[in-house]
């Protein structure tokens, strides 16, 4: 594509993103006082301790108070159809398009949005469909990001409360390695402009399409989007120095061929006090509270093989090595980030992060000795002993929402999305065993609790 055609496309997209918005000041040059997130109706965004977490003044966010965004940030339990939702995140049952961020896509069936996490009794005969037109998504990575666990309200609290503590600017956010931009709508709730970058043209094309649809459905949103095809190592090519308030990498940091260059490039663009946030989760869930079903599910995943890991980690030896370290392979140079403010967080790992994130060995690789160059390039932990580590479980406010009660068809559905009918047939005995065990051992006969292991890095630019 010619350069002038590329710029023309960006102009068209920019106009589409801006259509219907109240304020069109460019976030990269606007004064902080002009930011709608900093001052609107005479109020600044506030995040205060209220016993259950962070509270956002929604008169700033959406023009009214005590709305659904408050409910999400407060982690308030609700009753739906008379059933207490308990620890399930409000995001899981919210109908507010500004809240259902991770699944805000035309590809999702709005009538069956929470099929994997439904509070209703699942069908005993037919697997639920959590995505419609999945055959139209040829990229397994896109399916992986969209069909994985939804980011709960607690993660939004964790990110935004951390950022508010160290910065008072909500102008520009950068979603790196964004794929289809599934996290960008969440950023749009807080930052006036979001730049979306991805190494692939297909990822950017998809993000343009989906975020244009999102903007149409949310015309009053302050979030606007621009796009570029760039690797995370090229973050400095996407924005001017010291202009980005919040940079986030979701589920893709391990793909960086040079993580040191990535971190330094991102740091170059961050403002003083700006936030670097990175998150990744284990590609398979773990059953809790039912040992028999837990063992059956483990056996099923073992029999399934490397497929979910291959989708999550790719076929690069280095990306698999890095993923096996959780996010410990990410360096946070002391000359760039405030060491005392760095946070290395794990959720639902129960002290076994290395074990849970370890990518199963490839038998062929085991028989092939590594070259000296490959040995030199092996990923290793870059965690400084001065950095703070935190381990959260579901009982902690920052760990809530990564557990879900699901029906047995959830396991069958996830396999069907990523693998062939032959694989389904091969695994059917395992799936039937899981179904039978849940029927015999589950209190309600149809549900079991699963949790996802998560790794997070938060850092503040000096």
| Angstrom distance (rounded) from CA 402 to CA 53 | 16
- pLDDT score of 378: 65
Sequence-distant (≥ 6) Cβ neighbours of residue 49 within 8 angstroms: none
SS3 (DSSP) at 287:
strand
| Angstrom distance (rounded) from CA 151 to CA 90 | 11
Handedness of CA 312, 314, 320, 326 (dihedral sign): negative
Is the distance from CB of 280 to CB of 457 less than 8 angstroms? no
Per-residue pLDDT 10s for the chain (462 aa) are 444 444 444 343 333 333 433 332 322 223 233 333 333 333 334 444 333 333 333 333 333 333 333 333 343 334 333 333 333 333 333 332 222 332 333 333 333 334 334 444 433 333 333 343 444 444 666 677 666 788 999 999 999 999 999 998 999 999 999 987 889 999 999 999 999 999 999 889 988 988 998 888 888 776 789 999 999 999 999 999 999 999 999 999 999 999 999 999 999 999 999 999 999 999 999 999 999 999 999 999 999 999 899 989 888 899 999 999 999 999 999 999 999 999 999 999 999 999 999 998 865 554 555 455 554 456 789 999 889 899 999 889 999 999 988 888 888 888 887 888 899 999 999 999 999 999 999 988 889 999 999 999 999 999
Token reading at 435: 């179904």
- pLDDT score of 377: 56
Domain that holds residue 338: 3-460
Number of domains in the chain: 1
| Angstrom distance (rounded) from CA 84 to CA 64 | 26
Write the CATH number for 354: 3.40.50.150
- pLDDT score of 250: 94
- pLDDT score of 457: 98
Q: E strands within 139-253?
A: 172-176, 193-198, 225-229, 244-250
111-122 per-position pLDDT tens digit: 333 433 444 443
| Angstrom distance (rounded) from CA 141 to CA 416 | 15
Q: What residues are paired with 246 via a beta bridge?
A: 173, 275
């Amino acid at each position: 594509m010619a350069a002038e055609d590329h710029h023309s496309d960006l102009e068209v997209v920019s106009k589409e993103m801006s259509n219907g918005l109240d304020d069109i000041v460019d976030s990269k040059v606007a004064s902080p006082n002009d930011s709608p997130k900093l001052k609107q109706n005479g109020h600044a965004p506030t995040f205060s301790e209220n016993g259950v977490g962070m509270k956002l003044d929604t008169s700033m966010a959406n023009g009214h108070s005590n709305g659904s965004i408050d409910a999400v940030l407060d982690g308030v339990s609700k009753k739906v159809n008379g059933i207490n939702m308990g620890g399930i995140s409000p995001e899981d049952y919210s109908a507010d398009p500004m809240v259902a961020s991770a699944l805000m896509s035309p590809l999702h069936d709005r009538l069956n949005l929470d099929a994997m996490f439904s509070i209703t009794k699942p069908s005993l005969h037919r697997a639920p469909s959590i995505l419609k037109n999945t055959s139209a998504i040829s990229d397994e990575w896109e399916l992986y990001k969209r069909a994985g666990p939804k980011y709960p309200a607690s993660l939004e609290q964790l990110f935004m409360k951390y950022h508010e503590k160290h910065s008072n600017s909500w102008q520009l956010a950068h979603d790196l390695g964004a794929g289809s931009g599934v996290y960008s709508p969440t950023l749009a709730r807080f930052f006036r402009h979001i730049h979306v970058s991805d190494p692939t043209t297909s990822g950017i094309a998809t993000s343009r399409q989906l975020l244009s649809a999102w903007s149409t459905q949310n015309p009053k949103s302050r979030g606007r989007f621009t796009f570029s095809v760039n690797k995370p190592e090229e973050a400095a090519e996407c924005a001017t120095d010291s202009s980005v308030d919040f940079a986030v990498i979701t589920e893709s940091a391990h793909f960086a061929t040079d993580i040191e260059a990535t971190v330094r490039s991102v740091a170059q663009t961050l403002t003083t006090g700006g936030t670097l946030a990175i998150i990744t989760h284990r590609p398979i869930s773990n059953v809790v509270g039912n040992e028999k079903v837990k063992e059956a599910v483990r056996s099923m995943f073992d029999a399934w093989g490397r497929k979910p890991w291959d989708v999550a980690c790719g076929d690069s030896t280095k990306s698999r090595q890095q993923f096996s370290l959780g996010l410990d392979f990410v360096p946070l140079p002391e000359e760039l980030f405030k060491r005392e403010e760095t946070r290395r967080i794990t959720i639902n790992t129960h002290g076994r992060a290395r074990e849970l994130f370890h990518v199963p060995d490839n038998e062929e690789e085991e028989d092939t000795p590594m070259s000296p160059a490959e040995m030199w390039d092996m990923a290793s932990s870059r965690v400084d002993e001065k950095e703070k580590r935190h381990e959260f479980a579901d009982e902690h406010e920052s760990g809530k929402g990564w557990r879900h009660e699901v029906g047995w068809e959830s396991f069958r559905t996830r396999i069907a999305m990523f693998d062939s009918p032959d694989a389904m047939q091969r695994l059917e005995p395992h799936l039937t065993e899981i179904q039978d065990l849940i029927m015999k051992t589950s209190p309600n006969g149809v549900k079991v609790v699963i949790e996802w292991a998560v790794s997070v890095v938060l850092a503040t630019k000096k």
